Structure 1
Amino acid sequence: MSKKKFVWEVYLRPNTLSKDTERDCIADVRFRGGAKRNEDIADVITKERSEFRRETIINILNLRDEAVKNFIQDGMSFIDGIVQIAPRVTGVWKTENSPYNAAVHKRTVDLIPTHDFKAVLDDITVKVLGLKDDSFRITSVTDTATGLSDGTITIGDDLIIEGEKIKVDESDAAQGVFFKGADGAEHKTSRRLSVNKPGQLIARVPSSLPEGKTTVIVRTKYTGSATVLKELREIVCKLSCTAKR
């Protein structure tokens, strides 16, 4: 049996931090599908080992996540077959007697790949797809009712939209999250967004949206800086979505 080949596809974009040349570029990996979660791991395990119940595996994985979180909260480091997680506090103290200041210092963690995982990375081929055409994009949508990231949309429930520069100004009626049905009619989320960040939105799917093929659209003037766009930018989810009740 031939060994499976792994390929990461990347888009290049200008390196804004480079001072030596205006032609330097850095790479953004093209993600395939939405972010994977414990439910996806459970699906893989049950496919290989049918004697294990999916619900039991998910419960064990969730308990594992809670245990790891508690280790880190207690100031311990944790290592598995993939990464080592170590607590770290960043920032500068003016003197050795200075107290912790939440406005200056930050509690975070370091994620360090294990030796075995580093060896796996060596087997990956990188394919350059060319210049990245736009930094405004939707990378995935996740239906909170089902946990699916395959384009399923449950009418009346929340949808997690992930991407880049998708934050909206809710005080501007022209901005927001829109759902276009197969008939071309648009239905805007009227409920306040549960999460409204540059990389993630959580929007309630309007109850008026009909079942069937649906296009998810974000309209925004957000740029990632203090300057906003003069004209609305329409960011369309390229994933084929289907609304259901």
Structure 2
Amino acid sequence: MATILHRIKAYLYDNVLTKDNPNDFTARTISERSLNVQQICQSAANRGGADISASAMEHATELFLKEMAYQLCDGYFINTGYFMASTTIRGVFDSPSETFNKDKHSIIFQFNQGEKLRAEIPNIEVEILGVAEASAVILQVTDVKSGSVNDLLTPGRNLKIAGSKIKVTGNDPFIGVFFVNTASNVRTMVEESDMVTNNPSELIVVIPALLAGTYQLEVVTQFADSSILKQPRTALLDKPLTVE
């Protein structure tokens, strides 16, 4: 029997991503916070899991990641044991002679778990905290042009947003779909005319003309099942989105 070394907690939400069973649920992990390279290296040094200083470990990690990115850009397949990474071309080529077109095709980097990371799964205990309160939640977004899920944004093209109770409605002047730049905190709102689909479990919007950077997606609405809430509530995607 595996030793339980780690514990994660999760709430259940209505599963809007599958249509075969209208009564099923999906679990969503509660993330206390995100960790950057510096924080992970500091944790390793504090726990005694590193035989070098946190700063030396951070420097070496940054050098490794920089070189890994360089090799990925040359098309190499990366296998660290903990994860695998590869470079993928998205988009359709209509003939054998068609060349790569940045307006039609895109390049993305894909990451998948490796054997060493999979080996840790038996050491994790999962605590389901029950069905989440009836609040708005974003479960998944898909960039239609690139096909990227919870990752890339293509300005001027459609973004599919799947979730629960995310229909944008109400009389508050601050409701809508927003892209918040994580560096500048500038909020860019999707114009009402760029709301292609506005349903409780799915939104399709035209992505605004965002500058290159990282963004947080917010949906602010007063929607409830059978009424309009007095105050708007905000649903956040728990993963950053990137405009290249």
TM-score with structure 2 length normalisation? Answer: 0.55
Corresponding position of 1:197:
179
Per the TM alignment, residue 29 of structure 1 is displaced from its structure 2 partner at its CA by 1.2
Is it true that 1:18 corresponds to 2:10 in the alignment? no
Contact 2:220 2:235 in 1 (8 A): no
Q: Distance in 1 between matches of 2:57 and 2:179?
A: 32
Per the TM alignment, residue 75 of structure 1 is displaced from its structure 2 partner at its CA by 1.1
Is it true that 1:82 corresponds to 2:82 in the alignment? yes
Q: Distance in 2 between matches of 1:15 and 1:236?
A: 16
Per the TM alignment, residue 67 of structure 1 is displaced from its structure 2 partner at its CA by 0.8
Over alpha carbons, which structure has the higher Rg?
A: 1
Tell me the SS of whatever aligns to 1:100.
coil
Corresponding position of 1:59:
59
Q: How many residues get paired?
A: 168
Q: Deviations over 1:117-168 (max 9, x none)?
A: 212113323222222333459xxxxxxxxxxxxxxxxxxxxxxxxxx99xxx
Letter in 2 for 1:122: P
Kindly report the root-mean-square deviation, in angstroms, between the aligned alpha carbons of the 2 structures: 3.9
Per the TM alignment, residue 87 of structure 1 is displaced from its structure 2 partner at its CA by 0.9
Letter in 1 for 2:39: D
Contact 2:4 2:124 in 1 (8 A): no
Corresponding position of 2:119:
119
Per the TM alignment, residue 66 of structure 1 is displaced from its structure 2 partner at its CA by 0.7
Q: Distance in 2 between matches of 1:89 and 1:69?
A: 16
Corresponding position of 2:152:
none
Is it true that 1:69 corresponds to 2:79 in the alignment? no
Q: Deviations over 1:159-195 (max 9, x none)?
A: xxxxx99xxxxxxx9649xxxxxxxxxxxxxxxxxxx
Per the TM alignment, residue 236 of structure 1 is displaced from its structure 2 partner at its CA by 11
Per the TM alignment, residue 49 of structure 1 is displaced from its structure 2 partner at its CA by 6.7
Tell me the SS of whatever aligns to 2:119.
helix
Q: Distance in 1 between matches of 2:50 and 2:24?
A: 50
Corresponding position of 1:9:
9
Q: Deviations over 1:8-60 (max 9, x none)?
A: 322222222322232122221111x2211111222123221787333222222
Is it true that 1:38 corresponds to 2:34 in the alignment? no
Contact 2:87 2:109 in 1 (8 A): yes
Q: Deviations over 1:53-105 (max 9, x none)?
A: 33222222111111111011111111213101111112222222222233332
Corresponding position of 1:150:
none
Per the TM alignment, residue 225 of structure 1 is displaced from its structure 2 partner at its CA by 4.4
Q: Distance in 2 between matches of 1:95 and 1:3?
A: 55
Is it true that 1:229 corresponds to 2:221 in the alignment? yes
Q: What runs of 5+ residues in structure 2 fail to find an aligned partner?
A: 139-162, 165-171, 206-218, 223-228, 237-244
- Going from structure 1 to structure 2, the CA distance change for 1:7 and 1:100 (only over 3 Å counts) comes to same
Tell me the SS of whatever aligns to 2:221.
coil
Q: Distance in 1 between matches of 2:49 and 2:83?
A: 25
Q: Distance in 1 between matches of 2:26 and 2:49?
A: 41
- Going from structure 1 to structure 2, the CA distance change for 1:120 and 1:234 (only over 3 Å counts) comes to same
Letter in 1 for 2:221: L
Q: Distance in 1 between matches of 2:21 and 2:50?
A: 56
Corresponding position of 1:151:
none
Corresponding position of 1:131:
131
